[in-house]
Chains A and B, each alone.
Chain A
Amino acid sequence: MAETPLFKVTIDNITIEVPAGTTILNAARQIGGDVTPPAMCYYSKLKNSGGKCRTCLVEVAAGSTADPRPMPKLVASCRTNVMDGMIVKNITSERVQDARAGVVEFLLINHPLDCPVCDQAGECHLQDLSYEHGAEGTRFEFSKRIFKKHDLGPYIQLHMTRCILCYRCVFVADQLTNKRVHGVLDRGDHAEIATHIEKALDNDFIGNVIDVCPVGALTDKTFRFKNRVWFTKPVNASCNCSKCSGKVHLWMRGDEVLRVTARKDEWGEVEDWICNECRFERKDIKDWTIEGPVKVNRHSVISQGHYVGLKKPNETFSKVMNGRNPRLLMDIHSVSEVNKPGVNLAAIKGPAHSTDFDPPKKEISNE
């Protein structure tokens, strides 16, 4: 079998070799960091996804070694395959930054911005995107669009006003379940995700639409208004499930399992799809084998919370150290010129100044 040839692609002056057939976005993800374009609709685990949100637009400064002409339009990096010798500009292109700011603005004009009451807040891709690329103000002075409410059954809550129509949930239903009952009705800016004539989404794997939803349009009804995500702590857990891999994240507060989601990778994508039973029914810690804490990016808002109800270990320092007490390694006062042990900080009124630490000078008084 012939090996897939490796293509050299340069993204923001970083060159990488990737197999032919890789998209620009996936090549950029291999480099990682800032050069990775944001993706709101592309999902590497869903076929045919991507191309819709236009946040991943990049400039192709040279098409390939064979044909080094630049592409006239910005291209969707999630759906454009790399060519050998392609030169891509993402964060180094002003055109891209401008277009991306435009897309973020378009996505936000009809978004309700109800983050304070939205369950997705804290793990919302639209929040991240607007934080990175959006403007602080809005230029949209009209009333936002609203939708008729649809009930999707006992597990999944739909907030259509928050939806950005990424079509991911439609692909999940198409590719994971044997019958899709929801889809996009209508067109244009009144297009909406709905079931035709009020049906409940009750397929075994339909709960995954919650995980793929980049915004708070589809949320978990069993977790609804229970807690903010940054007050809960994710732990890796697993169980013997007959339907799915059983590998999940438990979102805990103390000993209480508030929410179960699939495990997500660094791009916010699900690693293994999980079944509805794991997601919605197994809310007892006894159902799960805890594997350990989830590594959370320290910039994430989720890392800002504290473990609540944490029990301190029974052992003390001296027990662990066989009776010895911890030794003071360094007395800061002995090495620092700034901090004088003789100065009582509590006695200083207001902020301390360098003069507070100076040796008392001769009083120069006008009196």
Chain B
Amino acid sequence: MGVKLLLDKAHIEGIRYYDTYRKNGGYTSVEKALKMSPEAIVEEVKKSGLRGRGGAGFPTGMKWSFIAKPEGVPRHLVCNADESEPGTFKDRYLMEFLPHLLIEGLIVSSYALGSNATYIYIRGEYAWIPDILEQAIAEAKANGWLGKNILNSGFDCEIYVQRGAGAYICGEETALIESLEGKRGNPRIKPPFPAVKGVWERPTVVNNVETLAAVVPIMNMGGEEYAKIGVGRSTGTKLISACGNINKPGVYEIDMTISVEEFIYSEEYCGGIANGKRLKACIPGGSSVPVLPANLLLKTAKGETRYMNYESLSDGGFATGSMMGSGGFIVYDEDQCIVKNTYTLARFYRHESCGQCSPCREGTGWMEKILKKIDTGKGSHSDIDLLWDIQRKIEGNTICPLGDAAAWPVAAAIRHFRDEFEWHVNNPEECLRRNYGLAHYADERAVIA
């Protein structure tokens, strides 16, 4: 069994409620933190090497130290619970089963950043979770962990839950801030960054749910101890939400030292591919990161074993690697059609584009149309090249990362599965009846298993 820091108490009955949570060692980090100076907490988080769990993997301590501290201007912490990346559902699990862990992390982080009003922006589709969170906040407040002068430290903090209205784009931090302010959820043009001008033009830090929850074990065990878990710059534990054609889909906490192969095939985690099928491909970090075929997923291009951590998953860049992303682990078996799946993703990004900047607004729709054409057997070889050219012109030229997120899956699908696209073009009738299968493969295990 790997180390568990976040989900170690998830199995305890009634852990959702304050009494049980407190009895099992809850809120000790707040007691500890409020005796320290805010700077010391930031230093502790820096030492832990914690990286943002929302997708980009930016060091949290460094992000916290960037926040501007002008005299007399309030600062804010915003918890990004707008978990809308297809394939990712780790934050939902945390908020549903361990709401107090998030509240605890939020209180410590608010203290470290000097935020007296902290917001949880939760996606609208998680309709039942705000109630859980609000109940937890009420319980915490009743027990003196929130409100005025917490534990006589002179620190005031309130947490507010704000529901989104169902937009993927509001997971982008500046769009989230706009939406939080009650405006249309359009990403802002950076600079200024939220650390300088965020919510209501005040310095703001936006962090993912899992990141803020991870502050709790960091405070409890100390940053240096936390940094010992994991490997290299991938410290601590990471929640992976595994889904797709596996025997045991669900949320797993891993310590980032296990290999991808172990994660997929071991009984402790995904338990192998469902229905005795073989592994075809996998999107290791949520729908927007590049898809990898089985041979490149289990071994890097250099022939080394690929591990479940930030560095190993991105080994080889986008040419032969992918990204840790948000930890939405989507597994495809041999029956899955890459073209159809890419089309589904392109349709999603087209629907979720905010429409502000031209490459993303027009390009996502164009890619969707071409992919639909290829998928339905009406494509031509030039369409594949055109698709490549379109994604190239979207990537990096947009206001926010949604353009990149829409371009990467298409790019990776063509890069690694061009033969499957060509098969669709060459066999317009056959491709409607059956899938391409595993012809692409080079991985022995996938073929034998």
Which residues of A come within 8 Å of B, CB atoms?
50-55, 57, 72-74, 76, 79, 98-99, 102-103, 105-107, 109-110, 139-140, 142, 145, 164-165, 167, 183-184, 186-191
Shortest CB-to-CB span from B409 to chain A, Å, is: 17
List 6 tightest A-B contacts by C-beta distance, closest first: A102-B393, A191-B355, A51-B189, A106-B362, A188-B353, A189-B365
Determine if A106 and B356 form an interchain contact, defined as CB atoms under 8 angstroms apart: no
The contact string, 1 if C-beta is below 8 Å from chain A, for chain B 161-201, is 00000010100000000000000100001000000000000
Which residues of B come within 8 Å of A, CB atoms?
167, 169, 184, 189, 350-359, 361-366, 369, 386, 392-394, 396-399
Using known A-B contacts A74-B396, A184-B184, A188-B365, determine if residue A106 contacts B355 with beta carbons closer than 8 Å: no
Q: Residue of A at shortest CB range from B361?
A: A189
What residues of chain B lie closer than 8 Å to A109, measured between beta carbons? Answer: 362, 366
Determine if A188 and B363 form an interchain contact, defined as CB atoms under 8 angstroms apart: no
Determine if A139 and B386 form an interchain contact, defined as CB atoms under 8 angstroms apart: yes
Shortest CB-to-CB span from A146 to chain B, Å, is: 13
Shortest CB-to-CB span from B84 to chain A, Å, is: 14
Main secondary structure of the interface of A (DSSP, over half): loop
Using known A-B contacts A165-B356, A189-B355, determine if residue A106 contacts B363 with beta carbons closer than 8 Å: yes
Determine if A106 and B189 form an interchain contact, defined as CB atoms under 8 angstroms apart: no
What residues of chain B lie closer than 8 Å to A107, measured between beta carbons? Answer: 358, 362
Q: Can you spell out 26 A-B residue pairs with CB atoms less than 8 angstroms apart?
A: A51-B357, A52-B357, A54-B359, A57-B397, A73-B396, A99-B397, A103-B393, A105-B393, A106-B361, A106-B362, A106-B363, A106-B366, A107-B358, A107-B362, A109-B362, A139-B386, A142-B366, A165-B358, A167-B356, A184-B355, A187-B169, A187-B352, A188-B352, A189-B350, A190-B355, A191-B355
Shortest CB-to-CB span from B358 to chain A, Å, is: 5
Determine if A142 and B357 form an interchain contact, defined as CB atoms under 8 angstroms apart: no
What residues of chain B lie closer than 8 Å to A103, measured between beta carbons? Answer: 358-359, 393, 397
Partner of B362, one of A50, A57, A73, A110: A110
Query: Known contacts A73-B396, A165-B356; can you find 16 more A-B pairs with CB under 8 A?
Result: A51-B399, A52-B399, A54-B397, A73-B397, A102-B392, A102-B394, A103-B397, A106-B358, A106-B361, A107-B358, A110-B362, A165-B361, A188-B350, A188-B353, A189-B361, A189-B365
What residues of chain B lie closer than 8 Å to A73, measured between beta carbons? Answer: 396-397
Partner of A54, one of B386, B392, B398: B398
Shortest CB-to-CB span from A145 to chain B, Å, is: 8
What residues of chain B lie closer than 8 Å to A72, measured between beta carbons? Answer: 396
What residues of chain A lie closer than 8 Å to B352, measured between beta carbons? Answer: 187-188
Shortest CB-to-CB span from B97 to chain A, Å, is: 33
Using known A-B contacts A139-B386, A165-B361, A188-B365, determine if residue A74 contacts B397 with beta carbons closer than 8 Å: yes
Determine if A99 and B393 form an interchain contact, defined as CB atoms under 8 angstroms apart: yes
What residues of chain B lie closer than 8 Å to A188, measured between beta carbons? Answer: 350-355, 361, 364-365
| Assembled-state Cα–Cα distance A278/B212 (Å) | 58
What residues of chain B lie closer than 8 Å to A51, measured between beta carbons? Answer: 189, 357, 399
What residues of chain A lie closer than 8 Å to B364, measured between beta carbons? Answer: 188-189
Select the residue from A52, A106, A107 with max chain B CB neighbours within 10 A: A106
| Assembled-state Cα–Cα distance A79/B397 (Å) | 14
Select the residue from A74, A76, A167, A188 with max chain B CB neighbours within 10 A: A188
Q: Residue of A at shortest CB range from B396?
A: A73
What residues of chain B lie closer than 8 Å to A165, measured between beta carbons? Answer: 355-356, 358, 361
What residues of chain A lie closer than 8 Å to B189, measured between beta carbons? Answer: 50-51, 76, 79
